[in-house]
């Protein structure tokens, strides 16, 4: 773990999901991680997000449900794909679903509630990393279908911010190309002219 928050922010990266092993965070560490995840900017203090933990046997049960749904959508699948669906949630010892759960509000746009959910997921990732665990935030096909979201425990109005896979990683972090920050900012130059 980097020695300062800034070191961490400047060097952080995800780990391959299939290399996330036991141990996973303990219950008290999960409480710490979710406390950090909940401590995010949140216009109107609506807490428009919640967390679902997939661990233990539940991970394999989710895999069986996902396989059934995938075959309902696509027809019988070859063995490789069957195994892929069956093990979606059992590669890492813990998966935390960050769920956007928008609240009715006369003034606060739903878009801002989604953004707060993204902040919660990122805080969750940083907190898990600070405790020494590696992470990988994904969504995947099942997040983009109402049936997939329902089998994962979401209500119809809820959306997936991410399924954060968490575990212990002993490998060397893979670096990937990062954006050229100088190309991403400019001083304000007046209204958009198209």
Ligand X SMILES: Cc1cc2nc3c(=O)[nH]c(=O)nc-3n(C[C@H](O)[C@H](O)[C@H](O)COP(=O)(O)O)c2cc1C
Distance of alpha carbon 124 from alpha carbon 3, whole angstroms: 19
Tell me the C-alpha distance between 43 and 116, whole Å: 8
* H or E stretch covering 129: helix 110-130
DSSP β-bridge partners for residue 74: none
For residue 14, the minimal CB distance to ligand X (Å) is 3
Q: Which is nearer to ligand X, 17 or 24 (CB)?
A: 17
Alpha-carbon torsion (74, 57, 136, 50), positive or negative: positive
Q: Which is nearer to ligand X, 10 or 189 (CB)?
A: 10
Residue 44 is given by DSSP the state T
Residues that bind ligand X (CB under 6 A): 13-14, 136-140, 162, 176
The residue among 13 and 26 lying less far from ligand X, judged by its C-beta, is 13
CB of 177 to ligand X, least distance (A): 10
The nearest distance, CB 3 to ligand X, in angstroms, is: 20
């Amino acid at each position: 773990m980097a020695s300062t928050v800034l070191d961490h922010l400047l060097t952080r990266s995800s780990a391959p999901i299939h290399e996330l092993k036991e141990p996973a965070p303990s219950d008290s560490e999960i409480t710490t991680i979710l406390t950090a995840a909940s401590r995010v900017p949140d216009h109107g203090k609506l807490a428009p997000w919640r967390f679902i933990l997939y661990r233990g046997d539940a991970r394999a049960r989710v895999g069986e449900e996902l396989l059934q749904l995938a075959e309902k959508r696509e027809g019988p699948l070859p063995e490789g794909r069957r195994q892929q669906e069956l093990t979606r949630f059992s590669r890492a010892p813990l998966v935390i679903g960050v769920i956007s759960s928008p609240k009715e509000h006369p003034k606060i746009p739903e878009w801002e509630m989604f953004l707060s959910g993204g902040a919660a997921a990122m805080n969750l990732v940083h907190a898990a990393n600070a405790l020494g665990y590696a992470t990988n935030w994904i969504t995947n096909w099942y997040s983009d279908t109402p049936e997939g979201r329902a089998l994962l425990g979401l209500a119809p109005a809820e959306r997936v911010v991410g399924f954060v896979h968490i575990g212990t990683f002993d490998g060397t972090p893979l670096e990937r190309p990062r954006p050229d920050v100088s190309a991403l900012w400019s001083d304000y130059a007046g209204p958009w002219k198209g």
